[in-house]
Amino acid sequence: MPEVNIYEDLSLVRRRANTVFWVIAALTFLALSFYWKVQILDHKKFSSLAEANRTRQRTLAAPRGLIRDRNGEILADNGASFKVSFIRENVKDLEASLAAVGRLLEIDGKTLRNRLEQYKDLQAFEPIVIKDGLSSEDIAPIESRRLEFPELVVDAEPRRFYPKGTLAAHVLGYLQERTPEEIRAEPGRAARAGEMVGKTGVEREYDGLLTGEDGKITEVVDSLGRVRDEKARDNAVQGGDVFLTLDHRLQAKAEEALKGREGVVVALDPETGEILALASFPTFDPNRFITRFTPTEWNQLTNDPLSPLENRAIRGLYAPGSIFKLAMSLGGLDFGYVTPETTVYCRGSTLIYGAVRHCWFAPGHGSMNLADAIKNSCNIYFYTLGQRMGIDMIAKAAGLLGLGEKTGVDLAGEKEGLVPSSEWKTRTLKTPWYLGETISVAIGQGPLQVTPLQIAALTAMIAERGNRRKRPHLFLRAPAGGKGSSAEVDGAGAEPPFKSSTFESVIEGMWRSVNDGGTGKGAFVEGLDVCGKTGSTQVISRESAERLSLAGREIKTHSWFTGFAPRDNPRIVLTVLIEYGGGGGATAAPVAGRIFELFKDIQEK
Amino acid sequence: MMIDRRLIREVDWVLLGLVLLHSLIGVFFIYSSSHLLAGNYYVRQLAWIGVSLVALALVLAIDYKFFVSLSIYFYGLTVALLAATLVFARFIAGTKSWITLGLMQFQPSELAKIVMILLFARLFAGYKSAYLTTRHTLFALALAGVPLVLIILQPDLGTAMTFLAIIGGAFILAGLRRKTVLLFLLAAIVVGLGGWNFGFKDYQKKRLTTLVNPLHDPRGSGYQVIQSKIAIGAGGLSGKGFMKGSQSQLRFLPARHTDFIFSVIGEEAGFMGVLAVIVLYFFMLTRMFLSVSKARDRAGVYIIFTAALLIAFQFLVNILMIIGLFPVVGITLPFISYGGSSLLTNFIACGLILNVKMRRFANV
């Protein structure tokens, strides 16, 4: 190096430059060692973070199993639909995003905010469904603006569809979204937000069989959430089909017969307990509720004074009226208070316990034996019988026929009704039983309360003459496996509750009621040998009265018919209740007749 | 103007080769990180390398002493340009630092760095005492302060910091007394506190708090650092392979062909790639700093030292920033990051170093 004197002395500045260079060298080394730490020592951690960054797991909702009737007819199906979910993690400015999303999807800001509030406990990366039930045309404008809305995810999902609309709505039930409370209540269950579950009916009862196994898809996404590749896919497994005991033709006929009224039709096979039709009116269209959002129709339905959502067959409590005379007859005969030949003379009214009691037929029926009394539904006969039996023996007979307890049908929410006894009254009302009350109960009035399904089960027992008692049920089979609730009644196979001859005497009366010009003649079907009994309830409960005045109805009696056919080897039990239908013989019996007619046609085919 | 053959022989071809090597490494990773974007960034970068090489040749052709003698005019021009930028430029990405010259956009603040190098060389060329006097310090600060304030007003914090590095480097070389350093520190604290409470924009404050804890704002300013660290860490020893880094290819990494290009290298080439680039870079910086001993006069020493410091400072801040050891301030990795103005500036700085070095003999 030619360090000659002609050059100025730069040693000081060079030394300083050198020092600075060494500082830079040290900093470079520091940086390098930190890269070593991040890239080599912490590689695993950052590697999994990168993996989590680029992959997203999405649930593939499993279609529910189909619900079919006994002939395989589809009652609940699945259709295709799309839902839009919101991922909070992908948003920087939540307020601006909500405003934009609200405009895009036409959701008002309050609804959207409430929806997110509802799920605020979920992790920020979990999608929250904000709109569903969309068609492919609906989602086109959303898809075309994907880049502007990284927070939105559009998924296809199978959507429950009830092809027959309102048919058997109360049996099928409906779906609603699993609530955040329910998700929290079962932490072990792999529930996903926005999952639809059966809320009532068969959808609820057999939810476990109908629910499939959700699939899972692992996708590679970019920073804007756009899917670039698919890594792994577990396909969803559809839930198992459930075949119901219903026959859609009988069901449709039953509903047609009830149209425009409030009431119930129950048809079942007495031998097996299989429910062939179960209609409750007014009804609803379950297709309307397959959304996670409360439509205005829902509020209308829940506030409707006629309670269309209630399944009256299992939850409606009615006085049985003259139908109860069947229980009186069975008990009276079997416990020895009367014989089939015992007669009572009906003048149209009588004096019992110091009060005048009237028969519904003012001129009087004259001298009547048991079968005549059933045929004509004579009140005087049963007042007399009730007086002889006393309330506790009446309660015993009713209890043996299954009144006052649930039938155990495979539908949730069944009510048990009420069979009063002296013990019941002292226990609940703290007053003694008055003998006069017995007389009301003897003709199915007073505190007595039954559900239409209980009456159908009672009729089935009579039809089967006390043998082969089966619990009424809706589950027929599930091809993929899985059982319904047991059709066996506890203690079934034991002795029939009443003697066979007792049943025959009562059945004679029921046969004559329909086929020999009795009150049930409206249910007569040529060549089917229908046996039945009518009833008209004269008492309305306080709740009913309120409902009634709300609905602006004039007060009429409820109209009952229950019966079976044919007389020997019965194939069908039919119970009809028409609220405020007037006399049972005039309203309910002809409805039953039409359904018996169809059943006969179906049988002959 | 023809250049003497002997001068061409004296060009440090190794250093020039290292600069070109880094530029080409840059082109590769610019391609990898931007091939999904419209705009053919790697082609544009290649074009800028060409332009920068021409500029470098022009710088070499003229004796650096000539530049130094003109530096006060350059200075006036630059201040005027910066002022004009502030008045006429439109906001791009939140700052007013770009002016449009025909088809090209240019940042006058980049040019200002070169001018400062030359100005300080001139200022201190005849300064032979061991330590700076107060008068000299204040004069130098006043001169440098005008463009600095204009740059801060844009606001361009990264360039302002680089500017401060050049000023600081020149002062260190000229000799700072301990009490002056203390005074500067005190002033820095006062200005810093004042700036924090009145001057800093919210995004700048956030960047500083994010340095302490990136998870403080994971979706905002912390996002870049988190994603960058993930990219680098996921690269591991040998990397995910060229164009195979999920962080950059799936666009989780922000500014991946500009400020964060080294994260792409970390992800796709792994620690081995990082080591190779840092070692090569360090080799290049060493060669630049060692050139200080080749300068024949004081002005040359200042030019080489501040120019080398300019590149070294940006390099260090960039590689520390993308791994979370320094706030995100928008400083590129010289020669490797995409960007014409920055490339041109760093090539010219390198040209100045080569210029001084090749004219090291007094009799030329």
Convert the pLDDT of each residue in A357-404 to its tens digit: 888 888 888 898 998 899 888 989 999 999 999 999 999 999 999 899
CATH number of A248-284+306-604: 3.40.710.10
The mean pLDDT values, 10 residues at a time, for chain B of 364 residues are 72 94 96 84 94 95 92 93 82 65 70 93 85 86 91 83 91 87 86 75 67 56 82 92 84 84 94 96 96 91 95 96 88 93 94 92 58
3-state secondary structure of B296: coil
Query: Is the four-CA dihedral A284, A288, A292, A296 of positive or negative sign?
Result: negative
Query: Could you tell me if B280 lies within 8 Å of chain A, comparing CB atoms?
Result: no
The residue extents of the domains of chain A are: 60-140+150-244, 248-284+306-604
Q: Which of A17, A27, A49 sits opposite B173 (nearest CB)?
A: A17
C-alpha A560/C-alpha A566 separation (Å) is 20
C-alpha A470/C-alpha A270 separation (Å) is 8
Angle at which helices B202-212 and B221-235 cross, to 10°: 40
Q: Which two tokens stand for residue A53?
A: 């960054």
Query: Could you tell me if A71 lies within 8 Å of chain B, comparing CB atoms?
Result: no
Query: Could you tell me if A25 lies within 8 Å of chain B, comparing CB atoms?
Result: yes
pLDDT of A445 higher than 60: yes
Which of B33, B131, B171, B173 to mutate: most A Cβ within 10 Å? B173
**With an 8 Å Cβ cutoff, are A8 and B128 in contact?**
yes
Query: Could you tell me if A362 lies within 8 Å of chain B, comparing CB atoms?
Result: no
B144 within a domain of the structure (yes/no)? yes
| pLDDT for res B59 | 94
B363 within a domain of the structure (yes/no)? no
Query: Could you tell me if A259 lies within 8 Å of chain B, comparing CB atoms?
Result: no
What are the Cα distances from residue A174, in Å, to A159, A199, A290?
A: 12, 6, 7
C-alpha A283/C-alpha A262 separation (Å) is 9
> Which chain A residue has its CA at the smallest distance from B262's CA?
A35
Q: What is the pTM of this model?
A: 0.66
- Per cent of chain A over pLDDT 70 is 89
The one-letter amino acid code at B222 reads G
> pLDDT higher for A467 or A329?
A329
Using left for φ > 0, alpha for ψ between -120 and 50, and beta otherwise, residue A491 falls in: left
C-alpha A194/C-alpha B198 separation (Å) is 48
Contacts of B141 (CB under 8 A, 6+ apart): B167
**Range in A79-93, A273-287, A514-528 the model is least confident about:** A79-93
- Using pLDDT thresholds of 50, 70 and 90, give the confidence band for residue A278: very high
DSSP per-residue string spanning A30-94: HHHHHHHIIIIISHHHHHHHHHHHHEEEEEEPPPPPPEE-TT--EEEEEEEEEEEEE-GGG-S-H
Query: Could you tell me if B296 lies within 8 Å of chain A, comparing CB atoms?
Result: yes
**With an 8 Å Cβ cutoff, are B275 and A32 in contact?**
yes
C-alpha B228/C-alpha B254 separation (Å) is 8
Please work out, in degrees rounded to the nearest 5, the angle formed at the alpha carbon of residue A479 by the alpha carbons of A477 and A483: 45
What are the Cα distances from residue A502, in Å, to A324, A328, A371?
A: 16, 11, 11
C-alpha B33/C-alpha B251 separation (Å) is 9
Please work out, in degrees rounded to the nearest 5, the angle formed at the alpha carbon of residue A299 by the alpha carbons of A295 and A305: 150
Query: Could you tell me if A17 lies within 8 Å of chain B, comparing CB atoms?
Result: yes
Going through A269-396 in order, the beta strands assigned E by DSSP cover: 275-281, 344-346, 349-352, 355-358, 366-368
Query: Is the four-CA dihedral A36, A39, A43, A46 of positive or negative sign?
Result: positive
Tell me the per-residue pLDDT of A467-503, one tens digit each, with 9 for 90 and over: 867 889 999 988 877 776 666 655 555 678 888 888 9
Nearest Cα of chain B lies from the Cα of A97 at a distance, in angstroms, of 15
| Stretch 153-172 of chain B: residues touching chain A, C-beta under 8 Å | 169, 172
| pLDDT for res B119 | 94
Q: How many CB atoms lie within 10 A of CB A113?
A: 15
Instruction: Decide if B119 contacts B74 (C-beta within 8 A).
Output: yes
Q: Which residues of chain B are within 8 Å of residue A151 when distances are taken between CB atoms?
A: none
Nearest Cα of chain A lies from the Cα of B99 at a distance, in angstroms, of 30
Instruction: Decide if A250 contacts A598 (C-beta within 8 A).
Output: yes
- Nearest CA to B294 out of B6, B1, B103, B10 is that of B10
Count of structural domains, chain B: 1
Q: Which of A6, A31, A43 sits opposite B319 (nearest CB)?
A: A31
DSSP per-residue string spanning B92-110: BTTB---EEETTEEE-HHH
According to DSSP, residue A175 is labeled E
Which of B301, B304, B326, B353 to mutate: most A Cβ within 10 Å? B301
| pLDDT for res B210 | 61
Can you tell me the ipTM of this complex?
Answer: 0.92
- Per cent of chain A over pLDDT 90 is 30
- Using pLDDT thresholds of 50, 70 and 90, give the confidence band for residue A542: very low
Q: Which residues of chain B are within 8 Å of residue A10 when distances are taken between CB atoms?
A: 295, 297-298, 301
Q: Which residues of chain B are within 8 Å of residue A228 when distances are taken between CB atoms?
A: 250
Nearest Cα of chain A lies from the Cα of B86 at a distance, in angstroms, of 30
Asked if omega into A282 is within 30° of 0 (cis), the reply is: yes
**Range in A242-246, A289-293, A466-470, B188-192 the model is least confident about:** A289-293
pLDDT of A435 higher than 70: yes
**Range in A84-98, A287-301, B322-336 the model is least confident about:** A287-301
**With an 8 Å Cβ cutoff, are B278 and A32 in contact?**
yes
**With an 8 Å Cβ cutoff, are B227 and A53 in contact?**
yes
Contacts of A173 (CB under 8 A, 6+ apart): A198, A199, A200, A201, A202, A203, A204, A205, A286
B145 within a domain of the structure (yes/no)? yes
pLDDT of A516 higher than 90: no
Instruction: Decide if A603 contacts A571 (C-beta within 8 A).
Output: yes
Domain that holds residue B141: 5-358
Q: How many CB atoms lie within 10 A of CB A340?
A: 16
- Listed as own residue / partner, the contacts of A293-301 with beta carbons closer than 8 Å and 24 or more positions apart are A293/A111, A293/A131, A293/A132
Which of A6, A9, A35 to mutate: most B Cβ within 10 Å? A35
| pLDDT for res A187 | 58
**Range in A112-126, A270-284, A342-356, B305-319 the model is least confident about:** A112-126
3-state secondary structure of A237: strand
CATH number of A60-140+150-244: 3.90.1310.10
Summarize the confidence of residues A174-186 as an average pLDDT.
75
Summarize the confidence of residues A65-93 as an average pLDDT.
87
> Which chain A residue has its CA at the smallest distance from B293's CA?
A14
- Nearest CA to B266 out of B244, B237, B240, B235 is that of B235
pLDDT of A249 higher than 60: yes
Query: Is the four-CA dihedral A249, A253, A255, A260 of positive or negative sign?
Result: positive
Summarize the confidence of residues A4-13 as an average pLDDT.
72
> Which chain B residue has its CA at the smallest distance from A92's CA?
B219
| Stretch 72-101 of chain A: residues touching chain B, C-beta under 8 Å | 92
| pLDDT for res A541 | 53
- Nearest CA to B31 out of B45, B20, B19, B17 is that of B45
Contacts of B93 (CB under 8 A, 6+ apart): none
pLDDT of A2 higher than 50: no
Q: Which of B236, B292, B361 sits opposite A14 (nearest CB)?
A: B292
Query: Could you tell me if A45 lies within 8 Å of chain B, comparing CB atoms?
Result: yes
Query: Could you tell me if B288 lies within 8 Å of chain A, comparing CB atoms?
Result: no
Contacts of A534 (CB under 8 A, 6+ apart): A322, A323, A377, A513, A519, A520, A559, A560, A561, A583, A584, A585, A588, A589
Query: Could you tell me if B282 lies within 8 Å of chain A, comparing CB atoms?
Result: yes
pLDDT of A432 higher than 60: yes
Which of A7, A38, A88, A89 to mutate: most B Cβ within 10 Å? A38
- Using pLDDT thresholds of 50, 70 and 90, give the confidence band for residue A331: very high
Query: Could you tell me if B312 lies within 8 Å of chain A, comparing CB atoms?
Result: yes
The one-letter amino acid code at B132 reads L
> pLDDT higher for A236 or B283?
B283
B83 within a domain of the structure (yes/no)? yes
Q: Which of A86-95, A253-262, B73-82, B222-231 has the highest mean pLDDT?
A: B73-82
- Using pLDDT thresholds of 50, 70 and 90, give the confidence band for residue A4: very low
| pLDDT for res B193 | 81
**With an 8 Å Cβ cutoff, are A38 and B229 in contact?**
yes
